[in-house]
Each structure stands twice: as C-alpha cells, then as structure tokens.
Chains A and B, each alone.
Chain A
Amino acid sequence: MKVDMRQFLESFFDEASEHIENMEAALLQLESTPDDTELLNTIFRAAHSIKGASSTFGVHGVGEFTHVLESLLDRMRDGEIQVTSETTEVLLASVDVLSGLLSAARDGTAEPTNTAEVVARLEEINGGKSSHASGDDDQPAEAAAEPSSGVYDVLFRPSSHFFHLGLDPLLLLRDLEECGTVSEMKLDWSQLPSIAEMDPESSYLAWTLTLQSDRDESELQDVFMFVDDETTVEFNKPEPPAAEEPVADEQEETTAIAKADGKAPAAKASGTLQRESVRVNGERLDSMINQIGELVIGISMVEQEWAEISGGTDSAAIVQLSKIVRDLQEQSLSLRMVPVAATFQKMARIVRDLSNRLGKKINFEVSGEETELDKTVVDQIGDPLIHMIRNSVDHGIETPEKRVAAGKPAEGHISVRAYHQGGNIFIELKDDGKGMDLDRIRQKAIDRGIVHKDDKLSQQEICELVFHAGLSTAEQVTDVSGRGVGMDVVRRNIEELKGSVTLNSQPGIGTTVTVRLPLTLAILDGLLISLGSEVYVIPLLSVVESFRPRKNEVKRLANNMDVVQVRGEVVPILHLHSILNITEAQSDPCQGLLVIVEDHDTKFALLVDDLIGQQQAVIKNLEANFRKVNGIAGATILGDGRVALILDIVSLKSLTR
C-alpha cells in the first residue's frame, strides 16, 4: 500500500496552527489562574495532538520538539511540577519555537534559531529526567533474545474474558499458521465446565501445537502482542535448533508485526476525502469575488434592459437570477471574513511580555474576539493595534507603586473589545492608566505652530493632536505625553482601510482609543447623486441627512465660504461641481440639494443636483487602474453600465478648510 501522506499535510498544518493558538491562549490564562487544571489539560492535549500527527506525517523536527514539551506538560498535569512564571515563560517560548518549526516545514522559512536553547530549558525544568519513554514493555511476555529459530512447542490458553476484549483466538492461531508450519495441534478442553455452569461468553479452551518456523521467538510473540496478562502464551524449544541463519533482530515499533499479510491493497481510493476546510490562494479568492462583483453589475444591466424592453413588467426568471447572484455575492464576501481573535491574542501576549519586563501588573481583558472582519482589514489592523497596546502598557499604565499612591488598585486594567454597530466594526482599547498630559501636548502643539495659543480646544481636540504628524514623530513627546510616537502612522493606516480612529484621554483616569473599520473593503452602501450629467456615489455611512435649504438658512461668509444653518448648527457647504469641474450643475443650494456628511465629528454639506437612490457599490480601485485622485475613493459600475466615482469624504473634508 502506498499512500501519499502529503495529501493530509495541509489539514495537519491548519490544525497545528489552531492548536498552537489554543496553547498560547491557555498559557496566558494559566498565568492568572495557575490552579486551573483544565487549562493544563488543554495545553497538553494540543501538544499531544501536534506530536502524534507531526511524526505520522513526517514533520519530524516538530515531533521531536513536542515530545520534550509533552513530557514536561505531562508532569505538570500530574502536579509533579508547579506552574510558575518561569515555566510559563519557557512554555510560551516553546509555543514560538513550535510555530517557527511549523512554518519552516510548511513554507520553507528559516528554522527558529533558539530551538536547542528552549529544549535545554524544558529539560532543565523537567529535572533532567529523561524525556524519552522508558523501555517498551509492550510485549506481554518477555521477548527472548535468542536469534535462532526452529521447532517450538506452543501453549496458548486465552484468559476467560478474552472475547470481551474483542479478541478472537482463531485469528491468532491463523496468524501463527502463517508464520510457519503447524503440526500436532491439540485442543485442551479440560477446563470446560458442565453445561449448566458454562458462560457462553467466557473462554475455557487452550491449544497446544508444534510450530516449525524460521522466525525468531520475538517475532512469533508479536502475534500475541494484544493478549492480556491472564492469557498464557508459551514457546518452548523441545530440542536444539538445527543450524540455520540467524535473523536480524529488527528494532521496530511495536506496530511492525508479522509481515505475512500478502493481501493486495485495493488499487484506488474507494471513498471520498472529507474536508472541513480548504486553503485557497488569496489571489484566486479575490479574483473570484471580483468576478462575482462583475456578475452583480451584469445582472443589474440585464434588469435595467429588461425594464426598458418590457415597460415595467417583472420577469420571474430575472428576479430569481438576481436573487441568486446577490446571495452568491454575499456568500463570496463572507469567505474573506475572519475573526479578530488571533490579533487579540497577539495583543494578550504583548501585554504579558511587556508588563513583565516593565514590572507592571496588568489585567488584560478581551471581548468580542469572535467578531469577523475582512481578512485584508484584519491583516492590516494588527500592527496599529499592537502599536496602541504597547503605548498603553508602556506609557499608559503606571507602576504598581505609583498606582497605589494615586489611590488606584496596584493592578492596571486594559481591555480590548470588538463589536458591530451600524455596518461597522468598532475596536475599542481602554486602559485605566494615567492618561495623557493635555497641557503639555497643547504646549508642544503651540510650539510647533500646529495650533495657535489663543485657539480654544476641547479636551477631545487636544487628545487628537497626537495624531498630528508634527507632534507624534517628535521624540520628546513620548517622554512628555507618553503617547504619540507613530500615532500619525496608526491613523494613516486605519484611514487607508476606510476606517477612522478617535482618542479620548482623561488625566489620571485613563485613555480610550476607538477604531472604526468597515466590514469589508470590497463593497459599500452608497447614496447615488447626480451632478450635471454625472452620477457620483457617497458612502452611505458618512451621510447624515439631505434637504433643500431655504434662502435664509444659507449665508456667505467673508472668506467666500458658504455655510448653512441646520438646527442652530453652522455647517460649511462644499460646491462639489466646482471641485469636480462640472459646468452644467446646480450652483445654488436652494435649487439643488445639500447632503450633510460627517467625518470625525466634523460635518459639512455637499451641494448636489439630485438624489438618485441607494445602491450597493462594488468598489473598483482607482489607483490600481489609473492613479490616486484626491477626493475620490474609487469607482463603481452602475446598472446601466456607466462608471460612477465614489467620493472620499475624508479627503474632501480637507477642502473645506
């Protein structure tokens, strides 16, 4: 039988990474609850599964390493070795090594350089106790070392409960027959009770036979490897063996047994492989999702053309098809969705490592880790989140002494939470640290000419100054404000994902950073508006309201800026047509419509000719096909085949200033 083990490797790797994630999560929990034996069991089970499978599938480096790891875990589980910060440390390092070894085997990356060191530390904790299994006493009877073979007198007396172990004496006798020539087989029924006393499920019989075989005794014993302790199996040599060649004593696993089975394997797999997950190249997936996006546009075009031809009567077939296409699109987009759990776990690890190093006590709390996001978003949000969590641990949370002095519990608290709200995902990072020094930040901003010293800034506005490139790249600000290095980069990264970040800090009480992210980058709910003969899409998320203002509500300021009064609030008007160079569009707000949009709590009004309606837009990246255009987030194709540009509210906002 030749089975290609590679076909199971993908599953193995997927599974192993999952186990590693579970191990890491459990280890991090174990630190705060060292008495939780179930956590140790979880960790052990994960290591155990990786070990068993990795050796089987030929990933030996991983197998050997897990073996050492498992020995230690086993003793920890038995309570022989206590859970200490040292053991946790080493176990976490082991998780890293394991993960490195696996990616080395999977992707051909370099093997972790500290493997030997971690193995040494594991063995040290394990008290130098040999991590290898002590001698195999698998053989029920002692395997005679005599290499000779010849004629044996064999006695075989199954135990009374032989059948209850699923064993069958007949099979064993047949196996024995295949090892050589059996002669003089005798049935011993002397132990058979009277019919009245007989239990038909018990075994009362024994056999004696003479076996001529060229195999040595240990090989013959292998036939009986599964019999229980109460079963008698004896091999006796009645006379000195005739001269024959000694058979090499093969040191094989106990599974390597009588090789007499001549059965030819079935030529082809008779069953189908069951798969629970399939790994797909990201590009292929993207291309498929893109094609399905085209399909959505296609069906819209068909709908529109049909409407023109039929004069408004529905076609059942088109309605049906349209529904299928839209379901298909929804499903295809969900293929890209992954939970944020892995990212949160990385954060947990960083909180742990960093707080240990800094001598801080931090209780890290995670919720909503099952919340799903587009894989691209998850991949790209990792770094900004980690940057922010570092800030919280490093600069936000005070040392235990300082906390106690400030009347707070010695243990700091950081929480990260993900949740859905109105088509967005929010990730909220909250600490109860010392907060930011608002006066110093303000002073720095004034020194750098970012704000004027007479500017009245709200607390919120001062907080958000750290997102300013001029402030956040300044090294001194780190020392002063405790936050800031790279926060401009963080914000830029998040905005590239069509998301936003807000920050609020209260001195002495703590800091909260909230990141808003779109569910997916591939599609958005848009409000279609007309401007002259053109159609544009405004992301619906940014839209607050739309209305036609009355004459007295619109005012022109001294700097030629038009504003509109909405329920007492003054909102600047952006003449879209002049920004976009559209001549025949409406220039009087009172003749057209104003769409109020919002970004980071700043509102402004877009002057448009008319609203067309709402539509899901499949976003086509403009940069990939053309170049980046200020004010435009991308393009989409409308039902009638026309191209419409999607407005980028974030970059339009800068034009209002």
Chain B
Amino acid sequence: MANTALVVDDSTSMRQMVSFTLRDSGFEVIEAGNGEEALKNVAGKDVKVVVTDLNMPVMDGMTLIRRLRADAKFKFTPILMLTTESQDSKKQEGRAAGATGWIVKPFNPEQLMQVINKVVR
C-alpha cells in the first residue's frame, strides 16, 4: 500500500503543486483547502505525513496541527508546515504546537521531496 500524505493549503495552485510532487514520488494524497476540511477528509485514514500551509481561512494551520497532535492517531505523524522566510516566530509557534519541521516558501519540487524524505521514509 502506498504511503498517504495529507496536503492542506487554501491556494489551489500550491496544493496542486505539492500534491503533484508527492504523487510523482509515489504517495497517495488527500487534499484539503483548510484545517477543518483536512480534519474531515483525513478522518479514519492512515497518513504518513502531513504538509500544511499556515495562513488559511476557516481553520488555520496552527490550529490544525494542535488538533492533529491531540488525536492519538497523529501523535507521532510527521507534520511539515509551509512557511515564508519572514516568519521565524511562526516556526517557534509551530514547533510549540507540535510541528515536526517546515518547508520554506518558495520551494521547488526537489526541495520539497528532500524535506519530506527527512521525516518519512
């Protein structure tokens, strides 16, 4: 069975790019446009890695990370957040919420997979 990744971003183009890259590397991908949708779409599924944007409507990435970590199923799942370079405080906040690491925007598919390979094998 292929590894499944959860990709959460309110930007369709970013989500498409991340999902495409992951699928290209053999992942199955569950997509969501915000945290709430992510929680809904991922319910009952086994996920190997989560990649989430931080700024999103309805439920932002930070809340999503906290909610996922509170769920026994996602206690040890690597969660990567998409950030921009000016958001050092966000990285700290993300870490406190339980994020595993981050991917700095802008990034290309190669860089994305390098980071993902750091946390999931």
For A7, the chain B residues whose CB sits under 8 A away are 20
Q: How far apart sit A7 and B57, CA to CA, in the bound complex (Å)? A: 25
* Inter-subunit contact B11/A53 (CB<8 Å): yes
Most chain B CB within a 10 A radius of its CB, from A15, A56, A70, A168? A56
Please report which residues of chain B, range 1-56, place their CB below 8 angstroms from some CB of chain A when the two chains form the complex. Answer: 10-14, 16-17, 19-21, 23-26, 28-29, 31, 53, 55-56
Partner of A45, one of B14, B20, B57, B79: B57
Q: How far is the CA of A163 from the CA of B78 in the complex (A)?
A: 9
A49–B104 touching, CB < 8 Å: no
Contact B55 A45 (CB under 8 A): yes
Using CB atoms, name the residue of chain B closest to A276: B12
- The CB with the most chain B CB atoms within 10 A, among A52, A67, A225, is that of A52
B105: CB under 8 A from chain A?
yes
CA distance A276 to B11 in the complex (A): 11
Collect the chain B residues with CB atoms within 8 Å of residue A136's CB: 85, 88
CA distance A171 to B116 in the complex (A): 12
**A165–B99 contact, CB under 8 A?**
yes
Report whether B75 and A257 are in contact in the complex, using a CB–CB cutoff of 8 Å. Answer: no
Query: A8 touching B17 by the CB < 8 A rule?
Result: yes
From 5 to 49 in chain A, residues with beta carbon under 8 angstroms from any chain B beta carbon are 5, 7-9, 11-12, 14-15, 44-45, 48-49
Interface string of A67-82 (1 = CB under 8 A from B): 1001100100000000
Cα A9 to Cα B107 in complex, Å, equals 15
For residue A133, which residues in chain B have a CB less than 8 angstroms away from its CB?
85-86, 88
Instruction: Give chain A residues whose Cβ lies under 8 Å from the Cβ of B77.
Output: 166
* In the complex with contacts A70-B86, A166-B78, A253-B111, A265-B98 CB distance below 8 A: no
Other-chain residue from B105, B109, B113 in contact with A52 (beta carbon distance below 8 A) = B105
Most chain B Cβ neighbours within 10 Å, of A11, A163, A259: A11
Q: Of A15, A67, A166, A174, which one neighbours B119 at CB under 8 angstroms?
A: A166
A1 engages B113 (CB within 8 Å): yes
In the complex the two chains form, is B100's CB within 8 Å of A167's CB?
Answer: yes
Within the complex, what minimum Cβ distance (angstroms) separates B51 from chain A?
12
Chain A 258-289, CB within 8 Å of chain B: the 1/0 string?
A: 11010101100111011010000000000000
| Least Cβ–Cβ distance between B80 and chain A, in angstroms | 9
Instruction: Flag B104-120 by CB within 8 Å of A: 1 or 0 each.
Output: 11111111111101110
Q: Chain A: how many interface residues by the 8 Å CB criterion?
A: 62
In the complex, which residues of chain A have a beta carbon less than 8 angstroms from the beta carbon of B109? 1, 3
A11:B119 contact, CB within 8 angstroms: no
**Contact call B107/A255, Cβ cutoff below 8 A:** yes
A255's nearest neighbour on chain B, judged by CB, is B111
B11 touches A15 (CB 8 A): yes
Most A CB contacts (10 A, CB to CB) among B26, B56, B118 go to: B118
CA distance A164 to B79 in the complex (A): 11
Contacting pair B103 A1 (CB below 8 A): no
Pair A1/B24 contact, Cβ less than 8 Å: yes
Q: Nearest CB to that of A11 among chain B residues?
A: B13
Q: Which B residues, 74 to 91, have Cβ-Cβ distances below 8 Å to chain A? A: 75-79, 82, 84-86, 88, 91
A3 to B16, CA, bound (A): 12
Q: Which of A8, A223, A228, A257 contacts B115 (CB 8 A)?
A: A257
Interface range for B: 35 or more
B95 at interface by CB-CB < 8 Å: yes
Total A-B contacts with CB atoms under 8 angstroms apart: 162
Tell me which residues across on chain A come within 8 A of B102, comparing CB atoms: 226
Cβ–Cβ < 8 Å partners of B12 in chain A: 11, 14-15, 276
Of the candidates B29, B82, B109, the one having the most CB atoms from chain A within 10 angstroms of its own CB is B109
Q: Are A175 and B118 in contact (CB under 8 A)?
A: yes
Interface string of A127-143 (1 = CB under 8 A from B): 00000111011100000
**Interface of chain B, helix or strand or loop or mixed?**
mixed
Q: B5 CB to closest chain A CB, in angstroms?
A: 11
Residues of B within 8 A of A165 (CB): 95, 98-100
Could you tell me if B16 and A8 are in contact, using CB atoms closer than 8 angstroms?
A: yes
B69–A167 CB distance below 8 A: no
CA A1 – CA B91 in complex, angstroms? Answer: 28
A57 within 8 A of B: yes
Which chain B residues border A55 with CB–CB below 8 Å? 105-106
Give the Cβ gap from A286 to chain B, nearest Cβ, in Å.
26
Which residues on A sit within 8 Å (CB–CB) of B55? 44-45, 48-49
> Are A49 and B95 in contact, CB atoms less than 8 angstroms apart?
no
Bound Cα distance from A70 to B85, whole angstroms: 12
A634 touches B (CB below 8 Å): no
The distance in angstroms between the C-alpha atoms of A235 and B118, with both chains bound, is: 20
Q: Which residues of A contact B115 (CB under 8 A)?
A: 255, 257
Q: Which residues of B contact A257 (CB under 8 A)?
A: 114-115, 118
Are B10 and A49 in contact (CB-based, < 8 A)? Answer: yes
- Kindly identify which residue among A71, A166, A265 contacts B25, using a CB–CB cutoff of 8 Å: A265
Residue in B13, B26, B79, B113 with the greatest tally of chain A CB atoms within 10 Å: B13
Q: Look across to chain B and name the residue whose beta carbon is closest to the beta carbon of A3.
A: B109
CB–CB A256/B86 < 8 A: no
Contacting residue for A8 out of B13, B95, B101, B112, CB 8 A: B13
A499 within 8 A of B: no
**Which residue from chain B places its CB closest to the CB of A9 in the assembled complex?**
B13
A163 to B119, CA, bound (A): 12
Is the C-beta of A244 less than 8 angstroms from some C-beta in chain B?
Answer: no
Is A57 touching B13 in the complex (CB atoms < 8 A)? yes
Question: Nearest chain B CB to A199's CB is how many angstroms away?
Answer: 13
Closest A residue, CB atoms, query B113: A1
Closest to B56 in A: A45
* Contact call B14/A52, Cβ cutoff below 8 A: yes
Complex contact B76–A164 (CB within 8 A) = yes
Given A63-B106, A165-B98, answer yes or no on A138-B76 (Cβ-Cβ < 8 Å).
no
**Which residues of the other chain, A, contact B86 by a CB distance below 8 angstroms?**
67, 70-71, 74, 132-133
Chain B residues whose C-beta falls within 8 Å of the C-beta of A315 in the assembled complex: none
Least distance between B50 CB and chain A CB atoms (Å): 8
Q: Let me know if A117 is at the binding interface, CB within 8 A.
A: no
- Knowing A133-B86, A166-B119 are in contact, say whether A269-B104 is a contact too (CB < 8 A): no
Known pairs A57-B13, A164-B98; A263 contacts B111 (CB<8 A): no
Residues of B with C-beta under 8 A to A3: 17, 20-21, 24, 108-109
A sample of 25 cross-chain residue pairs with beta-carbon separation below 8 angstroms, ordered by A number, consists of: A3-B17, A3-B108, A7-B20, A11-B12, A49-B10, A53-B13, A55-B106, A56-B108, A67-B86, A134-B88, A138-B104, A165-B98, A166-B119, A175-B118, A223-B118, A226-B100, A253-B111, A255-B115, A259-B114, A261-B113, A265-B24, A265-B25, A266-B26, A273-B20, A274-B16
* Shortest 9 CB-CB contacts between residues of A and residues of B: A55-B106, A271-B23, A226-B101, A166-B100, A12-B13, A166-B78, A11-B13, A56-B106, A52-B105
